[in-house]
Amino acid sequence: MSTQMERAKNGVITTEMRTVADKEGLSSEEIRLRVTAGSIVIPANHNHTSLSPEGVGLGLKTKINVNLGISPECANLESELAKVRMALDMKAEAIMDLSNYGKTIEFRHRLIEMSPAMIGSVPMYDALGYLDKKLEDITPQEFLAVVEQHARDGVDFVTIHAGINKETAQHFRQTSRVTNIVSRGGSLLYAWMELTGQENPFYEYFDDLLDICTKYDVTISLGDACRPGSIADATDGAQISELIVMGELTQRAWRRNVQVMIEGPGHVPLHEVVTNVQLAKKLCHGAPFYILGPLVTDIAPGYDHITSAIGGALAASAGADFLCYVTPAEHLRLPTLDDVREGIVAVKLAAHAGDIAKGIPGAAEWDRKMSQARQDLNWEAMFGLALDRGKPERYRKESSPEHQDSCTMCGEMCSMRLMNRIMDK
């Protein structure tokens, strides 16, 4: 079977393109043209039969991703599946399986079977446990075999840190960083390169990786191994040198009709967020930009869902296409169910704020309906329009006013109530 990009280039409008067009309110032909150009991707593995396809990229609604997965410290498969169900209930468009321990295949199979959302993974995380080898004993062919296992299972996109080659690593060594390499996959590959003296296998054997992606129509999400882990390290030489390599790999993938996303930085001061989006779009030829956060300050452990939402809203307004959620537990622990909910709400707020700024059709209309419901003092309509209905409904019940056409904040001095009475005369 051919890939979405190959069929788009051949003038074919696929079922997935039609589905995306219907969701976005655009023509199928416009979707096809943007898939051809690489400015949008439709991650849709042939083996993910429960998928409801989504488009990510230029002119489309900003999508969100939720990270989940089992680890050595928290290997409870059922608790992670509960988070999956919550993410799906809250309409997350993507879930990334970051499992790195235990029943990774079982978890991935159940996730893909139940999920209409697109599924991503980082095969590098799974390699050590899957192969049961020391890092330095793993061969390039074995790394690729793990990628193919994920693709065969039905993963729609894979994060591959192919941009940290020997040249990029040299730039990193010459850069005095506060937090070195904070990407888990990137640090593993850098360590493998240092231990073996070999080139990054995903860079050296990139054509073999493209063979796998072509076979299953898996989208490559080019991971940013050198993303900054502190605002002091943002937009430095290591990050930019890797971004240049990612741009070269993007064009190589497109020539093979493999769809590509570019992953973006983690910690970026507010005044550099727009610059980072523009650099990624320019150096990577307009490929969709998938960004973690960015977190605009380093001082708020326990509240990083807020710091990332600030950066995410600005990034989305500047053209970022896909936001990865950050939970209050970031840097501290594996997130609980409540942490996941808080993270999803924060990132959805950021995505929606960005969509308003980008002029995405229908985005501002949602806000207009909420404003009208507020003016009408229509509480049920407000709850129905709320991003997360449960919390405002609970607040209203916990503090019930004497008059139902007001709240306990203003009571009889409610401006909406007063203006409705005066304007209705």
Give me the residue label for tokens 């996941």. Answer: 340
Give me the residue label for tokens 């999956």. Answer: 84
Which residues contribute to the annotated binding site for substrate?
67, 96, 125, 161, 183-185, 224-227, 263, 290
The predicted-structure confidence for 338-379, as pLDDT tens digits, reads as follows 999 999 999 999 999 999 999 999 999 999 999 999 999 898
pTM: 0.94
**Chain mean position to CA 234:** 20
Across the range 150-172, mean pLDDT stands at 97
The predicted-structure confidence for 21-54, as pLDDT tens digits, reads as follows 999 999 999 999 999 999 999 999 999 999 999 9
- Distance (Å, rounded) from C-alpha 367 to C-alpha 357? 13
**In the chain, what are the domain boundaries?**
4-358, 363-423
pLDDT at 397 over 80: yes
- Distance (Å, rounded) from C-alpha 84 to C-alpha 28? 30
Which residues contribute to the annotated binding site for [4Fe-4S] cluster?
407, 410, 414
The predicted-structure confidence for 209-264, as pLDDT tens digits, reads as follows 999 999 999 999 999 999 999 999 999 999 999 999 999 999 999 999 999 999 99
Which residues contribute to the annotated binding site?
67, 96, 125, 161, 183-185, 224-227, 263, 267, 290, 331, 407, 410, 414
pLDDT at 122 over 90: yes
- Pick from 95, 118, 66, 101: which is nearest to 335 by CA? 66
- Tell me which architecture the domain covering 4-358 has in CATH: Alpha-Beta Barrel (3.20)
- Distance (Å, rounded) from C-alpha 308 to C-alpha 345? 12
Three-state DSSP class for 94? strand
pLDDT at 425 over 90: no
Which residues contribute to the annotated binding site for Zn(2+)?
267, 331
